[in-house]
Amino acid sequence: MREPWPGTSKKRCRSPWLRLWSPTRLLLIFSVTVTSLAKSQTAPAAVNPNLQEILTYIHNGWDSLTLSTNSCAAVADTKLSGAPVLYLPYDFPQPAELARMQQECRVTISHLPSVSHQLGTIDTRSIQPPGLLYLKNKYVVPGGRFNEMYGWDSYFIILGLLRDGRTELARGMVDNFFFEIENYGAVLNANRTYYLSRSQPPFLSSMVMAVHESQKAAGLDDRSWMETAYSYVKRDHEMWTKDPHLAGKTGLSRYYDFGDGPAAEALQDENDIYRQVASYFLLHPSIPSHVRESADVPSSQASGSSYSVRVCGVAETQSSCEPAKLIKLDPDYYKGDRSMRESGFDISFRFGPYGAATHHFAPVCLNSLLFKTERDLEAMSRLLGKNSDAAEWKKSAEVRRRLIQKYLWDEPSGQFFDYNFDTAQRSTYQFATTFYPLWAGLATDSQARAVVRNLNIFERAGGIATSVQQTAGQWDYPFGWAPIQLLAVEGMRRYGHNAEADRVSIEFLSTVLQNFERDKTIREKYNVVTRSSETNVTVGYSANNIGFGWTNGTFTELLHALPSEKVTHVAESARPTIPPH
């Protein structure tokens, strides 16, 4: 069982019936303990059929969301059209089990055109048709349009799997990421060929440590596995701490996609996003401009589509119009768009409108995660007896902590902000990643208090809103996402702000439960103002996908961490319709 975070009181009473539950164990616990529970405040929650139902849904969901690259269901890709293809690494022998799949699924099996030991060595546009990348082990997908193993999603999924006692599946997913680093050059955004140019937020060390803690609790000696894990986490860290992932001369890191031009997955089902962007920048000129006449943009597959612009007098005949001009989005916009997708926060206006300037920022989230990675590498080194390594990782983490304090902390507002290293200016865009430094443990006590004092900026009836700006993008107001809730709550607990952590947990858990009671689904995001899964996203893809991997994992983690006497509040709060904040 995972121990509480450092700084969290171990005396807080955890919900005893939720530890390593399964539906069978849950029912046994209900039948054995209902009499004793009836004497305590947890009885209404423990026997509440809707709470039992949602936990059973999550438990069964791990099975329905589990795929492998030798199954027919895994190869399908709703984000693109075309015949299914499974790609193996360039020099990788074809596994025998794929022969059956080839016949049953009518799938073409091919090899990548060259070795890929680091991102950017393969032009993803040259791989036609796009397809699924082979992985050795089974994995859990998020759900809906996300039919692959994703980078940062998998951390929250793995937490859920470990809470459900599925350590083997969780470890197999981590081993898949090692396979990706070895054969595809990095932890990928997801295992599709068009993602060979970018990664996702670095949670690999956190996954490793979570699996290690679970194996240790089971009495398993995993030293050999930890040696392997240590080597791959070092390689992952190295990618983020050298060009082109360096944020100018700050000593911090940035998101950066090695590819150019439109993102393949955005072209089919994201509401013609690039036409929206071109229209926006025509009406809201930026410096530098992201729109040019087509003739000024080098013609290539990476330059994107042309759009026609014509200026006419209002209510006049067509003859009064100026001749049509063709325009294109410039290459720097596409680099920003792709880099925003590496951040996982697509789409938000946090890094400028439509994320166009993402690659010009040193982000709070990424650098907090790298600090956490360095501290994890220190811990792994000590476990392996590599004390000199441990000292170096400790030093690296402290250097990063000081740089984050210098560039990303804003004392007057009491929040952490991203830093534009080109303009040498700290952003003023209020975003819930301000809680990441608390989760990573790099904030001072006074900074943590200041961030928590500002909780009301983001907190709404259904949990924490990702930002305060309403842009119609799904990673802005009024939407709240499971990973943000968990990282913020665990960050607040780490610094002893348990009352606030409990309150936010109940707000989000009850929102998920309330919507589950209505339609028997769990979604990828929620409107935390209306406490509804009915979202109106017009920037990017509009679906609110069902499944949903990281929401499932977050639900069980937040519920587990609630004190026993407060678990009942979740079911009670799911009943009324709470007015917007």
Cα–Cα dist 377/277, whole Å: 41
Catalytic residue of the set 148, 418, 507, 524: 524
Cα–Cα dist 471/477, whole Å: 7
Cα–Cα dist 172/220, whole Å: 15
DSSP character at residue 90: T
Helices (H), 202-287: 204-217, 223-240, 266-269, 273-283
For residue 293, indicate whether it is catalytic: no
Pairing label, strands 415-416, 325-329: unpaired
Cα–Cα dist 526/465, whole Å: 9
Is there a cis peptide before residue 563, judged by omega within 30 degrees of 0? no
CB-side exposure of 56: number of CA atoms within 13 Å?
A: 12
Neighbours of 276 (CB within 10 A): 17
Where does residue 579 rank: exposed (0-12), middle (13-18), buried (19+ CB within 10 A)? exposed
Cα–Cα dist 567/502, whole Å: 10
Strand partners, 308: 326
Closest CA to 122 of 191, 184, 189: 184
Structure tokens at 280: 């926006």
Residue 428, classed as helix, strand or coil, is: coil
Contact 65, 549 (CB under 8 A): yes
DSSP character at residue 321: S
For residue 459, indicate whether it is catalytic: no
Contact 272, 280 (CB under 8 A): no
Cα–Cα dist 5/501, whole Å: 13
Q: Which residues contact 552 (CB under 8 A, 6 or more apart)?
A: 58, 61, 62, 157, 160, 522
Structure tokens at 220: 């398993």
In order, the DSSP letters of 281-312 are HHHS--SS-SEEEGGGS--SGGG---EEE---
Structure tokens at 339: 């880099």
Catalytic residue of the set 270, 346, 376, 502: 346
DSSP character at residue 181: H
Closest CA to 515 of 505, 503, 528, 500: 528
Place of tokens 């099975």: 63
Q: Which residues contact 353 (CB under 8 A, 6 or more apart)?
A: 280, 281, 284, 286, 471
Structure tokens at 68: 């492998």
Residue positions counted in the chain: 581
First-to-last C-alpha distance (Å) of the chain: 37
Closest CA to 78 of 192, 224, 210, 187: 192
Residues with catalytic roles: 346, 524
